[in-house]
Amino acid sequence: MLDLNSFNPFGPHVGSAYGYFEQAREREPIFFSEPLQAWCVTRYDDIKRIASDWKTFSSSDAFPKPVGLPEEAQWAADFLFDHTVITIGDPPRHTAVRRLVHDGFKPGAIARFEPSIRQIIAKYVDRLPASGVFDLVTEFSSVVPLEVITQVTGFPLDENPDLLRWIEDETVLFAGTSALTDKELIDHGRGFAEAVAHLRELVETRRARPRNDLISLMITGDPDGDVLNADEVVMQALGLVSAGWETTGNAITNIVGALLEEPSRWAALVRGEVAVDQVVAEGLRFDTSVFGLFRTATREVTVGGITFAAGDRLFLFYASANHDADHFPAPDEFRLDRTNAKKHLGFGHGIHNCIGAPLARLELEVALELLAARYPELRLADDDRSPTYKPFNQFRAPEFLRVAA
C-alpha cells in the first residue's frame, strides 16, 4: 500500500506516479499531499468539473508568489507573478490576453507554418545516425520543438542558447525557489532581468517593423481594441516558448518509447495500418507530458465527497484522468484502436486548455511520420538503463531514450 499523503510527483515519485494514481482512483480519489500542500484530484469527471468552473476554482492564486528573496530574485519573482499569463490568469484579463494569442494558434493559422515546420523536423531527422544506438532526447526531442516554437513566436534562431538559459531562470523563479541558495537565486534573478531587457528591445523592434509571427500579432492587438503592454508581451512570448518546447519534446519521447515497447506498434505505424493522428491521441492519453495544474478554491464547495474551504489548493492530475477506467477501458494498455482516445485531457480542459494544441499535434504527427519513414526497424536499445525522469515541476520529462537503428 502506497502512502498517498507523502506523494510528490515533482521529486521522488515522478517515475512511479501512475501507481499512486491507480491506488488513489480506487481508494481515495481526492487525497491531501503534504509535500504539495494541496488536495490531489485523480478522477476524470471530478477534474473536468473543476477545470470547467474557473469562478470557483481560480488559477490566479494557484501559485503563491515567493517573498523574502534576495533583491535581484525578488524583482524577477514580482515581475513574473504581476503579469497575467495564459496558464495562470483568470477573466477578464485572461480572456483578452488569450484572444490575442489564440488567433496565432488556430489550425488555419498554424497551417501556414506547416511547410517550414516539416522542413525543420526533416532537417533533424536527416542528422540522426543511419545506424547504431543514439539518444532520441538529446539528438531530436529536445531540439526540434525549440526551433519550431521560436520560429512561430518570432525569436531569432541564433538566440536559442540564451532562450534555454532564460527559460530555466523563469521556471526556477516561478516554482523552485525553496530549494536554492541565495547565490543561486541571485544568479537566476539576474538572468531573468537580462531576458526581460532583451525581450523589451525585441518588442520595440517588432513594433516598428512587424512580421508574420506571434510577437507582432500580440503587439498590434485585435479589432476589438485589446492590446498587451510591452511587459505582457514579454511574459507571453517567454511563456509560450517555455511551454511549447518542453511539453512537446517530452511528448515525442513518451510516444516513441511507448510504441517501441511493443514492436508491433511501431510496425503498424510504419506500414500505415493506423492513422498518425490516432497514434498521437493515444500517446498523449497513455503517457501525458504535463501531470496537471494547480487551482485554488474561491469559496466553500464540495466535489467528490470532499468539502474544500475557500483558499484550499488543489492539483488536477490530468495524467490520472487519462487512466480512469470509467472512461478508458484497460487504461494501462497502449491501444492503437482505442475509439475515444481523443477525449484525453492531455491538453487540459476549460478556459485554460492548451492554446498551442494545434501546433503540438502537427509537430507530433510530422515527427512520427518522418521517423517511421527513416527508421522502419527502429527499436529500443539493448541495455540495462531504466528510464529516469527530471524532478521538474508539472512535467513528466524523460532524461533519455536510447534507441537503435
Between CA 199 and CA 167 the distance in angstroms is 13
CATH number (domain holding residue 126): 1.10.630.10
| pLDDT exceeds 90 at position 55 | yes
Phi, psi of 90 (to 5 degrees): -120, 160
Residue 66 DSSP label: P
Cβ(332)–Cβ(323) below 8 Å: yes
When pLDDT is averaged across residues 171-196 and rounded to a whole number, the result is 86
Sequence-distant (≥ 6) Cβ neighbours of residue 386 within 8 angstroms:
none
Q: Compute how many other C-beta atoms are within 10 angstroms of the C-beta atom of residue 128.
A: 15
Cβ(72)–Cβ(195) below 8 Å: no
With bands split at pLDDT 50, 70 and 90, how would you rate the model's confidence at 4? confident
Between CA 184 and CA 192 the distance in angstroms is 12
When pLDDT is averaged across residues 123-149 and rounded to a whole number, the result is 95
The grid cell for 304 is 467528490
Total domains present in the chain: 1
Integer angstrom CA distances of residue 192 from 87, 205, 248, 361: 19, 20, 23, 30
Average pLDDT taken over every residue of the chain: 89
Q: Which amino acid is at 385?
A: R
**Better pLDDT: 208 or 83:** 208
pLDDT at 89: 76
pLDDT at 202: 93
Q: pLDDT tens digits for 243-272?
A: 888 889 999 999 999 999 999 999 999 999
**Better pLDDT: 271 or 16:** 271
Q: pLDDT tens digits for 343-392?
A: 999 999 999 899 899 999 999 999 999 999 999 999 999 876 667 777 65
pLDDT at 222: 60
When pLDDT is averaged across residues 6-17 and rounded to a whole number, the result is 67
Between CA 109 and CA 379 the distance in angstroms is 35
Integer angstrom CA distances of residue 257 from 51, 129, 248, 260, 293: 29, 18, 14, 5, 24
Q: In sequence order, what are the beta bridge partners of 294? A: 315
Q: Compute how many other C-beta atoms are within 10 angstroms of the C-beta atom of residue 350.
A: 17
Q: Which of 3-7, 231-235, 305-309, 367-371 has the lowest mean pLDDT?
A: 3-7
**Better pLDDT: 173 or 142:** 142
| pLDDT exceeds 90 at position 18 | no
With bands split at pLDDT 50, 70 and 90, how would you rate the model's confidence at 127? very high
The grid cell for 25 is 482512483
pLDDT at 340: 98
Between CA 5 and CA 49 the distance in angstroms is 23
DSSP of 257-306, one letter per residue? HHHHHSHHHHHHHHTT-S-HHHHHHHHHHHS-SB-EEEEEESS-EEETTE
Positive or negative, the CA dihedral 85, 91, 95, 96 is: negative
Q: In sequence order, what are the beta bridge partners of 295? A: 314
> Helix H segments across 28-143?
44-52, 71-82, 93-102, 107-111, 114-127, 136
Between CA 331 and CA 255 the distance in angstroms is 15
pLDDT at 221: 66
With a pLDDT cut of 90, the percent of the chain lying above it is 58
| pLDDT exceeds 90 at position 314 | yes
Look up the domain containing 15 and give its range.
Answer: 4-404
> Helix H segments across 144-296?
144-153, 160-175, 182-208, 214-220, 230-261, 263-270, 276-286
pLDDT at 295: 95
Q: Which residue has the cell 516598428?
A: 208
When pLDDT is averaged across residues 100-105 and rounded to a whole number, the result is 78
With bands split at pLDDT 50, 70 and 90, how would you rate the model's confidence at 111? confident
With a pLDDT cut of 70, the percent of the chain lying above it is 92
pLDDT at 131: 95
pLDDT at 53: 97
| pLDDT exceeds 90 at position 97 | no
Cβ(313)–Cβ(61) below 8 Å: no
pTM for the full model?
Answer: 0.90
**Better pLDDT: 365 or 87:** 365
Phi, psi of 296 (to 5 degrees): -125, 130
pLDDT at 11: 62
Q: Which amino acid is at 37?
A: Q
Sequence-distant (≥ 6) Cβ neighbours of residue 304 within 8 angstroms:
29, 30, 41, 43, 46
**Better pLDDT: 294 or 176:** 294
